[in-house]
Structure 1
């Protein structure tokens, strides 16, 4: 992404829905942000709630884009609820600007068309909401008790967030006592509304959400200790709803060697997905029918994924699955405000497609400084990956000394050196060329990114 010789990056966002708002809120402190939306009431509200220039208008029109001064933009993000409009915004932008363009779409077929045409439509990068959500569902489903999972350094490093159950053997132990893994770093503890850096004397309590960073094996071992009776793999997967997300999730599981079951009420849609998913058992039924669920032994599933079109339906299905005895439920939610409610009443993980999309797009705003970004706890904290430059303040420093150059509430979680994982300890020296994975409180993120 082009930058203006060290000056603030100018970002134009078209569409002020949940995705646009989330991106703008993440960038307004450190970027020059312009946000465009057709709804005058939304524009007025954004003017007072965020440090952005909010404009009322249609982003598919050149006149509106010129009003947003798109000619001087470094990055244009089209994230309205219309796939076609987002593509048009990017194409129109390219006629008057050399800005890097990002289009958010829902249809995977459109993504595949773009990928097969070497960046057509004037789109430099395309983000497919449904595919991203399906990939997140797959990552989270593979680890018992995980709230969030992501990988860094090409899969060498894994980050995961776990909720500690009252029956877990690590309840009431200190981080130092629980830290018995070959290559794992305890990064942080979320307790109610508080975030605690995971120092050695920090005590793990029931209900805490703990973030760990390390090798895939060590994170899996920790998962087994958090929930020792659970299997490491979700062998029996039931997906409820052949929505586009449900369909993509089933295909994601198939691609990794699973044979999921998928329940769909609509006859035509069930037939369509059954033909497209050779390794998925598609069952035509109403998933809210408790007798059907019991008859098909859904209670034996390791995870039930609710991917119907409607938050209320997904909540009902998840609670029915819990009542039948399913250990783990994952629900797709469209309304981000419901996330905490879902998890409070017993849904293990609630995934919001728009939040996943915003996270994917935000990492592009850090091009040249960070390699990857993962947001935690609805952007209360982030885990970032970056390559250490020769002139970095961290180069040649031990972990102990390196942390003096960084704000508080930052934890160095893992280091990759020439393709090998290095577990960071106090005396570990950070070398130029290392890939470092760091946990950062969102409140000091901009300061950290500038420092590295």
Structure 2
């Protein structure tokens, strides 16, 4: 597949790095230095120019392209780029937008605005926040098989009750699979005697109830979040509150600007909107922040989000989730005390990359910037899994593949060595990145 990516910022660069190994990729950007740097780091064709301009797209080879991904920081530019590409080529177009208002317009008619698939950054970020809040101690959460199966990633801290236990000792759940442990730079496929260590990231796959139970055992002090405080009435803050309302929660939202606070109060009937400064210690104490299960910092700058998150934690909030616009700050936020740091550009890049890969799978989750993937596969008669017990079929798969869950006719089937996988079953599989191509061909 030949893919043209317009925009060589954080999003475009991440997508290019993910796709370059298996596809031909061209990257277009008005900033020549960005293009040159990306060409040096990744095997891509670089074109300096405006991706919304027809001449630039033709220089990038639009006539032979299969897909155009518009990923600049400007919504209108991305939409125009897709429309321009459609005027001269039969190409599949993906547009990144920050504002969900464009998404709502696009959803009214398939292919509207010349866009075949649209990814709304702020909405997707809010959805990520909502999933993480719903599962205590999790850093990443994805669902598969229509919500029957859940995958979650947990950082194991020193005080966790499972620290120092073997996988066999920690595995007390009927429908949970320990798919992998990310340890330093290694992906470890665990056996029963693998010891879970401080600093590990444990990847588990199973039913929602089992994953929730494991989350409680990882951090017993963190129960299911009920009292959520959102700091900042940004678009991400608004969507987070709306999504939490839809789950039956009654969040509180702090917004400093009077007009914005009034607007949010009118739009969010199930949210208590408070007009104040979220860095006002006395105000937070009056609002009993020490009783809050989770604080979401969604202000307009990374510095403010860091300050608000750390202040809430110091005053007693159980957990702090912060939006981090600059990708290079994500690890810093975690190191100084923020529990989960979410970068909207990374969320967007992963979603677009995931979409480009779904031709081989029903659903895809990307683990830690392409170190591994979790795939949902509908098994056909040609799969090495079909009609065979798992213990027999896995011998034909490369190392680094773990069958995490099976669904059959909408029901969960627990994978065991003697479980026979049938054609039309949906199988959720963890795959190390090094084994991805070989595994995909056989699954």
Which residue does 1:294 correspond to in 2? 285
The answer as to 2:157 corresponding to 1:168 is no
> SS where residue 361 of structure 1 aligns?
helix
Where do residues 405-444 of structure 1 align in structure 2 (5 Å cutoff)?
A: 405-444=396-435
* C-alpha displacement of 1:300: 0.7
- Aligned equivalents of 1:142, 1:438: Cα separation in 2: 23
Which residue does 1:256 correspond to in 2? 247
Which residue does 1:384 correspond to in 2? 375
Which residue does 2:182 correspond to in 1? 190
CA offsets per residue over residues 297-327 of structure 1, 9 Å max, x none? 1111100000111111111111111111111
- Aligned equivalents of 1:415, 1:244: Cα separation in 2: 37
* C-alpha displacement of 1:411: 1.2
* C-alpha displacement of 1:378: 2.8
Verify the 8 A CA contact 2:110 2:116 in the aligned structure 1.
Answer: no
CA offsets per residue over residues 42-71 of structure 1, 9 Å max, x none? 111111110111111111011111111112
> SS where residue 139 of structure 2 aligns?
strand
> Runs in 1 of length 4+ with deviation above 6 angstroms?
none
* C-alpha displacement of 1:239: 0.4
The answer as to 2:360 corresponding to 1:369 is yes
The answer as to 2:275 corresponding to 1:284 is yes
Which residue does 2:109 correspond to in 1? 117
- Aligned equivalents of 2:43, 2:442: Cα separation in 1: 23
The answer as to 2:372 corresponding to 1:352 is no
The answer as to 2:77 corresponding to 1:92 is no
Verify the 8 A CA contact 2:96 2:118 in the aligned structure 1.
Answer: yes
- Aligned equivalents of 2:341, 2:281: Cα separation in 1: 22
* C-alpha displacement of 1:253: 0.7
For residue 307 of structure 1, the aligned residue among 258, 280, 298 is 298
Between stretches 270-279 and 396-405, larger displacement belongs to 396-405
Which residue does 1:4 correspond to in 2? none
- Aligned equivalents of 1:184, 1:30: Cα separation in 2: 32
CA offsets per residue over residues 394-413 of structure 1, 9 Å max, x none? 22232223222322122111
Verify the 8 A CA contact 1:363 1:370 in the aligned structure 2.
Answer: no
Verify the 8 A CA contact 1:359 1:373 in the aligned structure 2.
Answer: no
Between stretches 13-22 and 186-195, larger displacement belongs to 186-195
> SS where residue 95 of structure 1 aligns?
helix
Where do residues 75-224 of structure 1 align in structure 2 (5 Å cutoff)?
A: 75-224=67-216
* C-alpha displacement of 1:348: 0.7
Verify the 8 A CA contact 1:71 1:97 in the aligned structure 2.
Answer: yes
Verify the 8 A CA contact 2:302 2:325 in the aligned structure 1.
Answer: yes
* C-alpha displacement of 1:251: 0.8
- Aligned equivalents of 2:348, 2:424: Cα separation in 1: 29
Where do residues 313-352 of structure 1 align in structure 2 (5 Å cutoff)?
A: 313-352=304-343
CA offsets per residue over residues 323-364 of structure 1, 9 Å max, x none? 111111101111111111111111111111111111111122
> SS where residue 179 of structure 2 aligns?
strand
> SS where residue 147 of structure 1 aligns?
strand
For residue 14 of structure 1, the aligned residue among 6, 13, 19 is 6
Q: TM-score, normalised by structure 2?
A: 0.97
For residue 231 of structure 2, the aligned residue among 228, 234, 240 is 240
> SS where residue 318 of structure 2 aligns?
coil
- Aligned equivalents of 1:305, 1:417: Cα separation in 2: 37
> SS where residue 448 of structure 1 aligns?
helix
- Aligned equivalents of 2:369, 2:422: Cα separation in 1: 32
Q: TM-score, normalised by structure 1?
A: 0.95
* C-alpha displacement of 1:292: 1.1
* C-alpha displacement of 1:160: 0.6
Verify the 8 A CA contact 2:295 2:317 in the aligned structure 1.
Answer: yes
> SS where residue 381 of structure 2 aligns?
coil
The answer as to 2:381 corresponding to 1:396 is no
The answer as to 2:42 corresponding to 1:50 is yes
* C-alpha displacement of 1:447: 2.9
- Aligned equivalents of 1:243, 1:26: Cα separation in 2: 30
Which residue does 1:274 correspond to in 2? 265
- Equivalenced residue count is 443
Between stretches 374-383 and 91-100, larger displacement belongs to 374-383
* C-alpha displacement of 1:203: 0.5
Mark the runs of 5 or more structure 2 residues left unpaired by the alignment: none
Between stretches 64-73 and 23-32, larger displacement belongs to 64-73
CA offsets per residue over residues 214-237 of structure 1, 9 Å max, x none? 000110111111122322x21100
Verify the 8 A CA contact 2:358 2:364 in the aligned structure 1.
Answer: no
> SS where residue 210 of structure 2 aligns?
helix
